[in-house]
Amino acid sequence: MKLFYQLTLIVTVIILMVGPSTLAQESISVTAEKWEANFREHLTFTVSAKSEVEITKVELFYQIVGQLAASRNEAKFTPGKSIAAEFKIDQTEPANYMPPGTEVEYWWKITDANDNKLKTDKKTLLYLDNRHDWQKLQNKRLTLYWYEGESDFGQRLFDRANQALDTLETNVGVTVEHSLKIFIYTNHQDLLDAVYTSAKDWTGGVAFTEFGVVVLGISPDQLEWGLKATTHEISHLVIHQAMSNSLGQLPTWLDEGIAVYNENQEQLDEDFRFILEAAVKKNDLMTLRSLTSPFPADTMLANLAYGESGAVVKFIIDTYGSKGMAKLLKIFAEGALPDEALQQALGVDTDGLDNAWRATLGLPPLPGTETKSATEGESLPESTSEKVAPKNTATIAPQPTPTTEKKQNPLSWLPCLAGILPLAFFGAWARRNN
Protein backbone atom coordinates (compact mmCIF):
# COMPACT_ATOMS: atom_id res chain seq x y z
CA MET A 1 0.00 0.00 0.00
CA LYS A 2 2.84 2.35 0.81
CA LEU A 3 4.35 1.67 -2.60
CA PHE A 4 0.97 2.46 -4.23
CA TYR A 5 0.80 5.89 -2.56
CA GLN A 6 4.38 6.61 -3.55
CA LEU A 7 3.64 5.81 -7.22
CA THR A 8 0.49 7.95 -7.10
CA LEU A 9 2.48 10.85 -5.70
CA ILE A 10 5.11 10.49 -8.46
CA VAL A 11 2.46 10.48 -11.20
CA THR A 12 0.81 13.55 -9.67
CA VAL A 13 4.11 15.42 -9.59
CA ILE A 14 4.79 14.50 -13.23
CA ILE A 15 1.36 15.79 -14.27
CA LEU A 16 1.97 19.05 -12.44
CA MET A 17 5.43 19.40 -14.01
CA VAL A 18 4.21 18.68 -17.55
CA GLY A 19 1.35 21.10 -17.11
CA PRO A 20 -2.15 21.22 -18.54
CA SER A 21 -1.12 22.91 -21.82
CA THR A 22 0.99 19.94 -22.92
CA LEU A 23 -1.65 17.39 -22.05
CA ALA A 24 -4.30 19.56 -23.68
CA GLN A 25 -2.58 19.39 -27.03
CA GLU A 26 -3.02 15.61 -27.00
CA SER A 27 -6.80 16.09 -27.22
CA ILE A 28 -6.47 18.03 -30.51
CA SER A 29 -4.79 16.61 -33.58
CA VAL A 30 -4.30 17.89 -37.11
CA THR A 31 -5.26 15.39 -39.77
CA ALA A 32 -4.35 17.45 -42.86
CA GLU A 33 -3.10 20.89 -43.84
CA LYS A 34 -2.07 22.52 -47.13
CA TRP A 35 -1.87 25.76 -49.04
CA GLU A 36 -2.55 26.67 -52.65
CA ALA A 37 -2.27 29.87 -54.64
CA ASN A 38 -3.03 31.57 -57.91
CA PHE A 39 -0.77 34.59 -58.30
CA ARG A 40 -2.57 37.95 -58.03
CA GLU A 41 -5.78 36.10 -57.12
CA HIS A 42 -5.50 34.30 -53.79
CA LEU A 43 -3.30 32.52 -51.29
CA THR A 44 -5.45 29.98 -49.45
CA PHE A 45 -4.63 27.94 -46.34
CA THR A 46 -6.65 24.94 -45.17
CA VAL A 47 -6.42 22.68 -42.13
CA SER A 48 -8.40 19.68 -40.90
CA ALA A 49 -8.40 18.73 -37.22
CA LYS A 50 -10.24 16.65 -34.65
CA SER A 51 -10.66 16.77 -30.88
CA GLU A 52 -12.31 14.87 -28.04
CA VAL A 53 -14.53 17.93 -27.52
CA GLU A 54 -15.90 20.57 -29.87
CA ILE A 55 -13.32 22.75 -31.63
CA THR A 56 -14.43 26.34 -31.22
CA LYS A 57 -11.67 28.49 -32.68
CA VAL A 58 -9.12 28.18 -35.50
CA GLU A 59 -6.57 30.91 -36.20
CA LEU A 60 -3.95 31.25 -38.92
CA PHE A 61 -0.80 33.22 -38.19
CA TYR A 62 1.49 34.26 -41.01
CA GLN A 63 4.59 36.40 -41.33
CA ILE A 64 6.62 37.61 -44.29
CA VAL A 65 10.12 36.17 -43.89
CA GLY A 66 12.50 38.96 -42.97
CA GLN A 67 9.81 41.15 -41.45
CA LEU A 68 9.00 41.46 -37.75
CA ALA A 69 5.20 41.73 -37.74
CA ALA A 70 2.95 38.67 -37.84
CA SER A 71 -0.70 38.65 -38.92
CA ARG A 72 -3.34 36.87 -36.81
CA ASN A 73 -6.50 35.76 -38.61
CA GLU A 74 -9.63 33.74 -37.73
CA ALA A 75 -10.35 30.97 -40.19
CA LYS A 76 -13.78 30.01 -41.49
CA PHE A 77 -15.14 26.66 -40.30
CA THR A 78 -18.13 24.93 -38.68
CA PRO A 79 -17.48 24.12 -34.99
CA GLY A 80 -17.42 20.44 -34.13
CA LYS A 81 -15.23 17.57 -32.98
CA SER A 82 -13.96 17.22 -36.54
CA ILE A 83 -13.47 20.38 -38.60
CA ALA A 84 -12.12 21.68 -41.89
CA ALA A 85 -11.04 25.34 -41.71
CA GLU A 86 -9.93 27.79 -44.38
CA PHE A 87 -8.37 31.22 -44.52
CA LYS A 88 -7.93 33.04 -47.82
CA ILE A 89 -5.70 36.06 -48.47
CA ASP A 90 -7.40 37.97 -51.27
CA GLN A 91 -4.57 38.98 -53.59
CA THR A 92 -6.83 41.19 -55.68
CA GLU A 93 -6.82 43.67 -52.79
CA PRO A 94 -3.85 46.07 -53.12
CA ALA A 95 -3.35 46.05 -49.35
CA ASN A 96 -2.71 42.28 -49.47
CA TYR A 97 -0.34 42.35 -52.43
CA MET A 98 2.74 40.14 -52.28
CA PRO A 99 5.35 40.27 -55.06
CA PRO A 100 6.55 37.06 -56.71
CA GLY A 101 9.19 35.41 -54.60
CA THR A 102 7.61 36.33 -51.26
CA GLU A 103 8.44 33.79 -48.57
CA VAL A 104 5.64 33.33 -46.04
CA GLU A 105 6.03 31.59 -42.69
CA TYR A 106 2.73 30.32 -41.28
CA TRP A 107 1.26 28.25 -38.45
CA TRP A 108 -2.15 27.35 -36.98
CA LYS A 109 -3.57 27.73 -33.48
CA ILE A 110 -6.61 25.55 -32.69
CA THR A 111 -8.73 25.84 -29.54
CA ASP A 112 -11.50 23.54 -28.24
CA ALA A 113 -14.41 24.09 -25.86
CA ASN A 114 -12.30 23.17 -22.83
CA ASP A 115 -9.77 25.84 -23.81
CA ASN A 116 -7.26 23.22 -24.87
CA LYS A 117 -4.95 24.67 -27.51
CA LEU A 118 -2.74 23.26 -30.22
CA LYS A 119 -0.11 25.31 -32.07
CA THR A 120 1.30 23.68 -35.19
CA ASP A 121 4.94 23.85 -36.22
CA LYS A 122 5.90 26.79 -38.42
CA LYS A 123 6.18 26.12 -42.15
CA THR A 124 7.48 28.28 -44.98
CA LEU A 125 6.06 28.63 -48.48
CA LEU A 126 7.39 30.36 -51.59
CA TYR A 127 4.77 32.45 -53.40
CA LEU A 128 5.53 32.48 -57.13
CA ASP A 129 3.84 33.77 -60.25
CA ASN A 130 2.46 30.42 -61.47
CA ARG A 131 1.34 31.87 -64.82
CA HIS A 132 4.84 31.39 -66.27
CA ASP A 133 7.25 28.50 -66.58
CA TRP A 134 10.28 29.91 -64.83
CA GLN A 135 13.90 29.09 -65.44
CA LYS A 136 16.24 29.97 -62.59
CA LEU A 137 19.85 30.36 -61.57
CA GLN A 138 20.69 30.31 -57.89
CA ASN A 139 23.43 30.58 -55.30
CA LYS A 140 23.42 31.41 -51.59
CA ARG A 141 23.11 35.16 -52.21
CA LEU A 142 20.75 35.37 -55.13
CA THR A 143 18.11 33.65 -57.26
CA LEU A 144 17.30 34.92 -60.76
CA TYR A 145 14.06 33.87 -62.47
CA TRP A 146 13.19 34.36 -66.14
CA TYR A 147 10.78 32.62 -68.54
CA GLU A 148 11.77 33.73 -72.03
CA GLY A 149 15.19 33.85 -73.64
CA GLU A 150 18.07 31.42 -73.94
CA SER A 151 20.15 30.26 -71.02
CA ASP A 152 22.84 32.81 -71.93
CA PHE A 153 20.33 35.64 -71.38
CA GLY A 154 19.69 34.53 -67.81
CA GLN A 155 23.36 33.77 -67.20
CA ARG A 156 24.44 37.28 -68.25
CA LEU A 157 21.96 38.89 -65.87
CA PHE A 158 22.86 36.48 -63.08
CA ASP A 159 26.58 37.11 -63.51
CA ARG A 160 26.11 40.89 -63.53
CA ALA A 161 23.98 40.76 -60.39
CA ASN A 162 26.66 38.77 -58.59
CA GLN A 163 29.31 41.16 -59.82
CA ALA A 164 27.25 44.00 -58.37
CA LEU A 165 27.12 42.21 -55.02
CA ASP A 166 30.90 41.72 -55.11
CA THR A 167 31.44 45.42 -55.85
CA LEU A 168 29.18 46.45 -52.98
CA GLU A 169 31.16 44.23 -50.63
CA THR A 170 34.58 45.35 -51.87
CA ASN A 171 34.03 49.05 -52.50
CA VAL A 172 31.13 49.96 -50.24
CA GLY A 173 31.56 47.52 -47.38
CA VAL A 174 28.06 45.95 -47.31
CA THR A 175 27.17 42.30 -47.80
CA VAL A 176 23.99 40.33 -48.46
CA GLU A 177 22.33 39.27 -45.21
CA HIS A 178 19.27 37.51 -46.67
CA SER A 179 19.05 35.87 -50.09
CA LEU A 180 17.70 38.15 -52.83
CA LYS A 181 15.39 37.37 -55.75
CA ILE A 182 15.13 38.93 -59.21
CA PHE A 183 12.20 38.25 -61.55
CA ILE A 184 12.56 39.10 -65.24
CA TYR A 185 9.33 39.66 -67.18
CA THR A 186 9.72 39.67 -70.94
CA ASN A 187 7.26 42.38 -71.90
CA HIS A 188 5.73 45.46 -70.37
CA GLN A 189 2.21 44.06 -70.02
CA ASP A 190 3.43 40.96 -68.20
CA LEU A 191 5.33 43.23 -65.86
CA LEU A 192 2.28 45.37 -65.11
CA ASP A 193 0.21 42.23 -64.53
CA ALA A 194 2.75 41.09 -61.95
CA VAL A 195 2.94 44.23 -59.81
CA TYR A 196 0.30 45.93 -57.71
CA THR A 197 -2.77 47.40 -59.37
CA SER A 198 -1.69 51.00 -58.77
CA ALA A 199 1.38 50.60 -61.00
CA LYS A 200 1.60 53.23 -63.72
CA ASP A 201 1.83 52.61 -67.44
CA TRP A 202 5.40 53.91 -67.40
CA THR A 203 6.57 51.48 -64.70
CA GLY A 204 9.56 49.50 -65.95
CA GLY A 205 10.35 47.69 -62.72
CA VAL A 206 9.92 47.75 -58.96
CA ALA A 207 12.32 47.07 -56.08
CA PHE A 208 10.33 45.61 -53.18
CA THR A 209 12.95 46.25 -50.52
CA GLU A 210 10.83 44.90 -47.65
CA PHE A 211 10.57 41.54 -49.45
CA GLY A 212 14.10 41.37 -50.90
CA VAL A 213 12.64 41.15 -54.40
CA VAL A 214 13.26 43.02 -57.66
CA VAL A 215 10.76 42.75 -60.53
CA LEU A 216 11.96 44.03 -63.91
CA GLY A 217 10.70 44.09 -67.48
CA ILE A 218 13.61 43.01 -69.73
CA SER A 219 13.25 41.36 -73.11
CA PRO A 220 16.22 39.45 -74.56
CA ASP A 221 16.88 42.30 -77.03
CA GLN A 222 17.16 44.79 -74.15
CA LEU A 223 19.97 42.97 -72.37
CA GLU A 224 22.40 45.88 -72.12
CA TRP A 225 19.79 48.07 -70.45
CA GLY A 226 18.76 45.15 -68.28
CA LEU A 227 22.28 44.63 -66.98
CA LYS A 228 22.40 48.21 -65.67
CA ALA A 229 18.86 48.18 -64.30
CA THR A 230 19.46 44.89 -62.49
CA THR A 231 22.65 46.24 -60.92
CA HIS A 232 20.98 49.46 -59.79
CA GLU A 233 17.95 47.84 -58.17
CA ILE A 234 19.82 45.00 -56.47
CA SER A 235 22.09 47.63 -54.93
CA HIS A 236 19.03 49.17 -53.25
CA LEU A 237 18.05 45.79 -51.79
CA VAL A 238 21.46 45.25 -50.23
CA ILE A 239 21.66 48.77 -48.82
CA HIS A 240 18.15 48.38 -47.41
CA GLN A 241 19.16 45.14 -45.68
CA ALA A 242 22.16 46.87 -44.15
CA MET A 243 19.92 49.62 -42.76
CA SER A 244 16.75 47.63 -42.02
CA ASN A 245 17.38 47.12 -38.29
CA SER A 246 19.07 50.45 -37.76
CA LEU A 247 17.98 53.68 -36.16
CA GLY A 248 19.05 55.88 -39.05
CA GLN A 249 18.16 56.59 -42.63
CA LEU A 250 20.47 57.34 -45.51
CA PRO A 251 20.18 60.68 -47.32
CA THR A 252 18.76 60.18 -50.80
CA TRP A 253 22.01 61.20 -52.52
CA LEU A 254 23.91 58.42 -50.73
CA ASP A 255 21.29 55.72 -51.26
CA GLU A 256 20.81 56.49 -54.96
CA GLY A 257 24.45 57.42 -55.46
CA ILE A 258 25.64 53.97 -54.36
CA ALA A 259 23.22 52.34 -56.79
CA VAL A 260 24.34 54.64 -59.62
CA TYR A 261 28.02 54.05 -58.79
CA ASN A 262 27.50 50.30 -58.85
CA GLU A 263 25.93 50.26 -62.33
CA ASN A 264 28.98 50.90 -64.46
CA GLN A 265 32.57 50.15 -63.59
CA GLU A 266 34.13 52.31 -66.32
CA GLN A 267 32.51 55.68 -66.92
CA LEU A 268 29.47 57.78 -66.16
CA ASP A 269 26.54 56.90 -68.38
CA GLU A 270 26.31 59.31 -71.31
CA ASP A 271 22.90 60.68 -70.30
CA PHE A 272 24.07 61.74 -66.88
CA ARG A 273 27.45 62.74 -68.19
CA PHE A 274 25.77 65.06 -70.69
CA ILE A 275 23.63 66.88 -68.15
CA LEU A 276 26.27 66.87 -65.38
CA GLU A 277 28.96 68.33 -67.62
CA ALA A 278 26.55 71.03 -68.77
CA ALA A 279 25.77 71.96 -65.14
CA VAL A 280 29.48 72.03 -64.24
CA LYS A 281 30.25 74.39 -67.12
CA LYS A 282 27.56 76.77 -65.91
CA ASN A 283 28.44 76.29 -62.23
CA ASP A 284 24.78 75.31 -61.83
CA LEU A 285 25.00 72.14 -59.72
CA MET A 286 22.48 71.41 -57.00
CA THR A 287 23.86 71.47 -53.47
CA LEU A 288 24.44 68.19 -51.70
CA ARG A 289 22.17 69.40 -48.89
CA SER A 290 19.29 69.76 -51.33
CA LEU A 291 19.82 66.13 -52.40
CA THR A 292 19.41 64.82 -48.87
CA SER A 293 15.63 64.76 -49.40
CA PRO A 294 13.74 63.04 -52.27
CA PHE A 295 14.91 64.08 -55.71
CA PRO A 296 13.02 66.66 -57.79
CA ALA A 297 10.03 65.54 -59.86
CA ASP A 298 11.30 67.52 -62.85
CA THR A 299 12.98 65.02 -65.18
CA MET A 300 16.02 67.10 -66.07
CA LEU A 301 16.70 68.02 -62.46
CA ALA A 302 16.19 64.39 -61.43
CA ASN A 303 18.77 63.33 -64.01
CA LEU A 304 21.21 65.88 -62.61
CA ALA A 305 20.48 64.66 -59.07
CA TYR A 306 21.34 61.09 -60.01
CA GLY A 307 24.48 62.14 -61.85
CA GLU A 308 25.70 64.28 -58.96
CA SER A 309 24.93 61.59 -56.39
CA GLY A 310 26.83 58.92 -58.28
CA ALA A 311 29.79 61.25 -58.81
CA VAL A 312 29.95 62.19 -55.11
CA VAL A 313 29.83 58.53 -54.04
CA LYS A 314 32.69 57.80 -56.44
CA PHE A 315 34.61 60.75 -54.96
CA ILE A 316 34.13 59.34 -51.43
CA ILE A 317 35.31 55.87 -52.39
CA ASP A 318 38.28 57.15 -54.41
CA THR A 319 39.32 59.56 -51.64
CA TYR A 320 38.55 57.69 -48.43
CA GLY A 321 38.52 54.10 -49.68
CA SER A 322 36.05 51.34 -48.99
CA LYS A 323 36.82 51.57 -45.27
CA GLY A 324 35.70 55.18 -45.20
CA MET A 325 32.46 54.35 -46.99
CA ALA A 326 31.80 51.36 -44.72
CA LYS A 327 32.41 53.53 -41.65
CA LEU A 328 30.04 56.18 -43.00
CA LEU A 329 27.23 53.64 -43.51
CA LYS A 330 27.82 52.16 -40.06
CA ILE A 331 27.50 55.56 -38.40
CA PHE A 332 24.32 56.30 -40.36
CA ALA A 333 22.94 52.95 -39.19
CA GLU A 334 23.49 54.04 -35.59
CA GLY A 335 21.07 56.91 -36.14
CA ALA A 336 23.39 59.82 -36.87
CA LEU A 337 22.19 62.78 -38.91
CA PRO A 338 23.99 63.54 -42.20
CA ASP A 339 26.37 66.20 -40.85
CA GLU A 340 27.19 64.09 -37.80
CA ALA A 341 27.84 60.94 -39.84
CA LEU A 342 30.01 62.70 -42.40
CA GLN A 343 32.01 64.52 -39.74
CA GLN A 344 32.66 61.34 -37.75
CA ALA A 345 33.49 59.16 -40.74
CA LEU A 346 35.20 61.55 -43.15
CA GLY A 347 36.09 64.62 -41.12
CA VAL A 348 33.87 66.99 -43.14
CA ASP A 349 30.22 67.98 -42.94
CA THR A 350 27.80 68.05 -45.89
CA ASP A 351 29.02 71.42 -47.18
CA GLY A 352 32.66 70.43 -46.66
CA LEU A 353 32.18 67.26 -48.72
CA ASP A 354 30.32 69.23 -51.36
CA ASN A 355 33.11 71.79 -51.60
CA ALA A 356 35.83 69.15 -51.73
CA TRP A 357 34.09 67.43 -54.63
CA ARG A 358 33.44 70.76 -56.37
CA ALA A 359 37.15 71.57 -56.12
CA THR A 360 37.98 68.50 -58.19
CA LEU A 361 35.69 69.93 -60.89
CA GLY A 362 37.41 73.30 -60.82
CA LEU A 363 34.42 74.99 -59.16
CA PRO A 364 34.54 77.50 -56.29
CA PRO A 365 33.14 76.68 -52.82
CA LEU A 366 29.45 77.11 -52.15
CA PRO A 367 28.60 80.71 -51.23
CA GLY A 368 28.74 81.28 -47.49
CA THR A 369 30.61 78.08 -46.67
CA GLU A 370 34.18 77.46 -45.59
CA THR A 371 36.53 75.82 -48.03
CA LYS A 372 37.29 72.33 -46.81
CA SER A 373 39.61 69.87 -48.44
CA ALA A 374 38.95 66.17 -48.42
CA THR A 375 42.56 65.66 -47.39
CA GLU A 376 41.86 67.30 -44.05
CA GLY A 377 39.64 64.41 -42.93
CA GLU A 378 41.06 62.17 -40.22
CA SER A 379 39.58 59.10 -41.90
CA LEU A 380 41.72 59.31 -45.02
CA PRO A 381 43.70 56.11 -45.69
CA GLU A 382 47.32 56.37 -44.71
CA SER A 383 48.57 54.95 -47.97
CA THR A 384 47.27 54.69 -51.49
CA SER A 385 47.34 50.91 -51.19
CA GLU A 386 44.18 51.14 -49.09
CA LYS A 387 42.33 53.10 -51.73
CA VAL A 388 39.93 51.52 -54.17
CA ALA A 389 40.73 51.98 -57.84
CA PRO A 390 38.59 54.75 -59.32
CA LYS A 391 35.38 53.49 -60.85
CA ASN A 392 33.04 55.89 -62.60
CA THR A 393 29.34 55.94 -62.06
CA ALA A 394 26.34 55.27 -64.23
CA THR A 395 22.70 56.17 -64.02
CA ILE A 396 19.67 54.05 -63.50
CA ALA A 397 18.25 53.01 -66.85
CA PRO A 398 14.46 53.02 -67.12
CA GLN A 399 13.00 50.33 -69.33
CA PRO A 400 13.50 51.32 -72.97
CA THR A 401 10.80 51.83 -75.56
CA PRO A 402 11.92 50.68 -79.04
CA THR A 403 12.59 53.39 -81.57
CA THR A 404 14.96 54.15 -84.40
CA GLU A 405 15.20 57.82 -83.62
CA LYS A 406 18.71 58.94 -82.81
CA LYS A 407 19.25 62.22 -80.99
CA GLN A 408 20.62 63.76 -77.83
CA ASN A 409 17.86 63.98 -75.27
CA PRO A 410 18.77 64.74 -71.65
CA LEU A 411 15.11 64.20 -70.72
CA SER A 412 15.16 60.55 -71.70
CA TRP A 413 15.43 59.30 -68.12
CA LEU A 414 12.97 59.33 -65.26
CA PRO A 415 13.93 58.89 -61.60
CA CYS A 416 13.86 55.65 -59.61
CA LEU A 417 11.56 57.13 -56.97
CA ALA A 418 9.82 54.99 -54.31
CA GLY A 419 11.46 51.84 -55.62
CA ILE A 420 9.83 52.16 -59.04
CA LEU A 421 11.94 51.88 -62.16
CA PRO A 422 10.24 53.90 -64.90
CA LEU A 423 10.05 53.43 -68.64
CA ALA A 424 12.42 55.42 -70.82
CA PHE A 425 11.50 57.85 -73.52
CA PHE A 426 12.75 57.38 -77.06
CA GLY A 427 16.24 58.90 -77.13
CA ALA A 428 18.02 56.71 -74.60
CA TRP A 429 16.99 53.39 -76.09
CA ALA A 430 17.88 54.54 -79.57
CA ARG A 431 21.42 55.49 -78.52
CA ARG A 432 21.90 52.02 -77.00
CA ASN A 433 20.60 50.08 -79.98
CA ASN A 434 21.99 51.90 -82.99
Q: Which residues contact 128 (CB under 8 A, 6 or more apart)?
A: 39, 100, 101, 134, 145
Same domain, 78 and 116: yes
For residue 402, being part of any structural domain is answered with no
How many domains is the chain partitioned into structurally? 3
- Nearest CA to 197 among 185, 206, 209, 186? 206
202 burial type by CB count under 10 A (0-12 exposed, 13-18 middle, 19+ buried): middle
Residue 152's domain is classified under what CATH number?
Answer: 3.40.30.160
How sure is the predictor about 221, in pLDDT bands with cuts at 50, 70 and 90?
Answer: very high
- Say whether pLDDT at 413 is over 50: no
Task: Please name the residues in contact with 351: beta carbons below 8 A apart, sequence gap of 6 or more.
Answer: 287, 288, 289, 366, 369, 370, 372
Q: What is the torsional sign of CA 414, 420, 421, 426?
A: negative
In a domain? residue 313 = yes
Burial of 337 (0-12, 13-18, 19+ CB in 10 A): middle
Quick: pLDDT tens for 309-358: 999 999 999 999 999 999 999 999 888 999 999 999 999 999 999 999 99
Q: Which residue would you say has higher pLDDT here, 242 or 165?
A: 165
Helix 299-333 vs helix 270-281: crossing angle, to nearest 10: 100
Helix (H, G, I), strand (E, B) or coil at 314: helix
Same domain, 155 and 202: yes
160 and 279, same domain (yes or no): no
Residue 433 lies in a domain: no
Listed residue (29, 24, 65) closest to 47, CA to CA = 29
Last residue of a domain, one of 103, 127, 151: 127
pTM of the model: 0.77
Judge whether 12 lies within some domain.
no
Residue 9 lies in a domain: no
Mean of pLDDT values over 141-150 = 97
> Residue 397: is its pLDDT beyond 70?
no
* Phi, psi angles (nearest 5°) of residue 393: -100, 165
- Give the tens place of pLDDT for each residue, 258-304: 999 998 755 667 778 889 999 999 999 999 999 999 998 888 898 89
For residues 178 and 100, state if they share a domain: no
pLDDT score recorded for residue 277: 93
Mean pLDDT of 23-41: 86
Domain termination residue (choose one: 93, 127, 161): 127
280 & 388 share domain: yes
Structural domain of 376: 248-396
Residue 330 and residue 254 share a domain = yes
| Lowest mean pLDDT segment, chosen from 270-279, 337-346, 361-370, 374-383 | 374-383
Residues β-bridged to residue 42: 38, 90
pLDDT score of 148 more than 90? yes
Residue 12: CB atoms within 10 Å: 10
Evaluate if residue 429 carries a pLDDT over 60: no
35 & 87 share domain:
yes
Examine the domain organization and report whether 260 and 366 are in the same domain: yes
* 221 and 288 in a common domain: no
More confident residue, 86 or 402: 86
The reported pLDDT for the residue numbered 147 is: 97
Q: Give the rounded percent of residues in the chain with a pLDDT score beyond 90.
A: 63
Residues 256 and 386 in one domain: yes
Is residue 3 domain-resident? Answer: no
Q: With CA atoms as reference, report the closest residue to 171 among 353, 349, 331, 324.
A: 324
How many other CB atoms sit within 10 Å of the CB of residue 36?
Answer: 12
Q: Which of 87, 111, 127 is the last residue of a domain?
A: 127
Amino acid of residue 246? S
pLDDT band, residue 21 (cuts 50/70/90): very low
In a shared domain, residues 267 and 324? yes
Q: Same domain, yes or no, for 211 and 348?
A: no
Domain of residue 78, CATH code? 2.60.40.10
User: Considering the domain boundaries, does residue 50 fall inside one?
Assistant: yes
Is 10 inside any structural domain?
A: no
Q: How far apart are the first and last CA of the chain?
A: 100
pLDDT at 26: 59
Tell me the pLDDT tens digit for each residue of 93-110.
989 999 999 999 999 999
